[in-house]
Amino acid sequence: MAKKEKKGITVKKDENFSEWYTQVVERAKLADIRFGIQGFIVNMPFGFSIIRKIYEYLEEEVEEDNHEAFLFPNVVKEIDLKKEKEHAGFNPEVFWVSEVGDKKLEERFALRPTGEAQIYPMYSLWFRSYKDLPFKGYQSRISVFRAEKTTRPFIRGREFLFFETHDVFNTHNESLEQIKKDLEICNKTIRDKIKIPFLFFKRPSWDKFLGADNSFTPDTVLPDGKRTQLASTHDLGRNFSKAFGIRVENENEEEEFVWQTCFGPGISRIMASLISIHGDDKGLILPFDMAPIQIVIIPIIFSEKDNKPVLKYCVDIEKKLKEYKVKFDNSENSPGYKFNEWELKGVPIRIEVGPKETKDKKITIVLRTGEKKSIKLDSLLKEVEKSSKLIDKNIEDKANLYFKNKTKNAKSYDELKNIIENYKGFIKVPFCSVEKDGEKCANKLKEETAADVSGTLYPKEDKILKESKCIICNKKAKHIVYVAKSY
């Protein structure tokens, strides 16, 4: 017989998160990292099915918000990339296509590190009048390419899965409204459907996207304690419209530069957070609607004579469940082996059927989140419906509890330093300023604790007491900020 692959997770998530993560990605067959080019992974069917769901949620919401889908090439002209760099300081590690066949290309071009430099030159051609605006465009199921030094599947890749909106307005006010709508999209998708809790930050001025007037990010914390940015939305002001010459005629027939925002959820990062936050020592845990297999039916047969009636009963059950994604696991493996395999893959509902269940027209239902009960065949659909909701509620409650414990307060720098070492999460502290003049304190913090200032809560900042002092410089504190180590 062919050699069996290693199955099951052999480390505890709490004890060795890094190894746990690697094992889940590999053994639940989410991605294959043996593609052979650093930072480029293969999204295997099981993992890609989950990723596609993330894309579908986002597509649905941005279309509801009147975005139109377009698709740009995977490449970008050097001259456009330079224009972005000069005006916005964007300077990634870019991959260059510089040869074709056996020849050097006359004009090399880059694999796109992000969309701005390829999209905005076209925007400068597409709009003529203020009546053409607002325009909201997006592209989904695309990749961006950056030569990151260290790579981990979904967390940091050289090709990573992307989604981006690029919106154009006549007024700054509309841009600011859009930022709030982008937050709402994050709420409806990442929080409500994917069930990843996050805080929505306005980033400090020294850590915003350099082409933006302000950057906003929903950030969560992975079990290793590092802050992970799940998306970003930027108030681009008129910085890019000036760099790329995106103008329209206003009502008075004068040419004006447009106002822009862009929004980019990091699909790979959301996937990484989904794996890390919901999963347990047995493997993946998935919200019911996101699971590639929602229900697995496992026959439990003790003797030859049970074989036929039990399998027939399983088929009957499978037929009743045709509106769900069901796997009837009729393989030769032992029930225990099957339990482990489908738990590893996060299948929300397991149905166990033995001779007793078959005789009594009953079914044993086991939820991935732990609950177990015996039900009547007649009530199957009702119980599945109930169970799917219960699972989602369990996942949500667990994630919220997890995240609630990820925020502590510190009133002084000493207190901060005392708790930061082994603490995994955000620390709320009073801070002098999130504008340029606060950067010195942030640098000191970073040097001495390896932690960053994530930003202030948005849209409703935490209230700060009048007498609060910055934990670093001891001057008057203007903000409560959230400090964390980050990816």
Q: Which of 7, 82, 96, 386 binds a second copy (CB under 8 A)?
A: 96
> Residue 120, SS3?
helix
Cα–chain center distance at 335:
34
- Residue placing its CB nearer to a second copy in the complex, 137 or 283: 137
The CA-CA-CA angle for residues 407, 219, 41, to 5°, reads: 130
Does position 7 bind a second copy by CB under 8 A? no
Nearer to a second copy, 315 or 390 (CB): 315
Determine which helix (DSSP H) or strand (DSSP E) holds 167, and give its type and residue range: strand 159-169
CA distance 229 to 170: 29
Q: Does 85 engage in binding with a second copy (CB under 8 A)?
A: no
Which of 8, 60, 72, 306 is close enough to bind a second copy by CB under 8 A?
A: 72
Question: Are the C-beta atoms of residues 274 and 189 closer than 8 Å to each other?
Answer: no
Instruction: Choose, by CB under 8 A, the member of 7, 18, 64, 70 that binds a second copy.
Output: 70
Sort 164 into a burial class: Cβ within 10 Å, 0-12 / 13-18 / 19+.
buried
Identify the DSSP state of 277: H
Q: Tell which one of 147, 300, 311, 473 touches a second copy (CB under 8 A).
A: 147
Largest CA distance in the chain: 87
Of 91-99, 280-288, 420-428, 474-482: span binding a second copy (CB under 8 A)? 91-99
Instruction: Work out how close the CB of 446 gets to a second copy at its nearest, in angstroms, rounded to a whole number.
Output: 24
In the set 25, 28, 58, 111, which binds a second copy (CB under 8 A)? 111
CB of 128 to a second copy, least distance (A): 3
Enter the tokens of residue 33: 């990292």
Min CB(368)–a second copy separation in Å: 21
Beta strands 349-353 and 362-367, pairing class: antiparallel
Binding mask 29-48 for a second copy (x = CB under 8 A): ---x-xxxx--xxxxxx--x
Residues in 156-175 at the binding interface with a second copy, rule: CB under 8 A: 159, 161
Least separation in angstroms between residue 347's CB and a second copy is 16
Which CB sits closer to a second copy, 59 or 461?
59
Does residue 401 bind a second copy (CB under 8 A)?
no
Q: Determine, following the binding rule CB under 8 A, whether residue 49 of this chain makes contact with a second copy.
A: yes
- Shorter beta-carbon distance to a second copy: residue 131 or 359: 131
> Which tokens in the block code for residue 456?
């202030």
Total interface residues for a second copy by CB under 8 A? 61
* Residues 296-355 interacting with a second copy (rule: CB under 8 A): 331
Residue 34 is given by DSSP the state: T
Among residues 64, 97, 312, 405, which is the contact residue for a second copy, using CB under 8 A?
97
Q: Is 150 in the site for a second copy (CB under 8 A)?
A: no
**DSSP H or E segment with residue 85:** helix 78-88
Q: Which long-range contacts (CB under 8 A, 24 or more apart) does 457-463 make?
A: 457/199, 457/200, 457/201, 457/202, 457/482, 458/183, 458/200, 458/201, 458/202, 458/216, 459/180, 459/183, 459/200, 461/202, 462/428
Residue 347 CB-half CA count within 13 A: 24
Beta-strand pair 326-328/349-353: unpaired
Return the number of the residue (267 or 483) whose C-beta is nearest a second copy: 267
Closer Cβ to a second copy, 131 or 372, answer by number:
131
Enclosing H/E stretch for 404: helix 380-404
Among 24, 50, 51, 230, binds a second copy (CB under 8 A): 51
**Binding interface with a second copy (CB under 8 A):** 1-3, 5, 32, 34-37, 40-45, 48-49, 51-52, 68-75, 77, 80, 93-101, 107-109, 111, 118, 121-122, 125-126, 128-129, 131, 137, 141, 143, 145, 147, 159, 161, 248-249, 253, 331
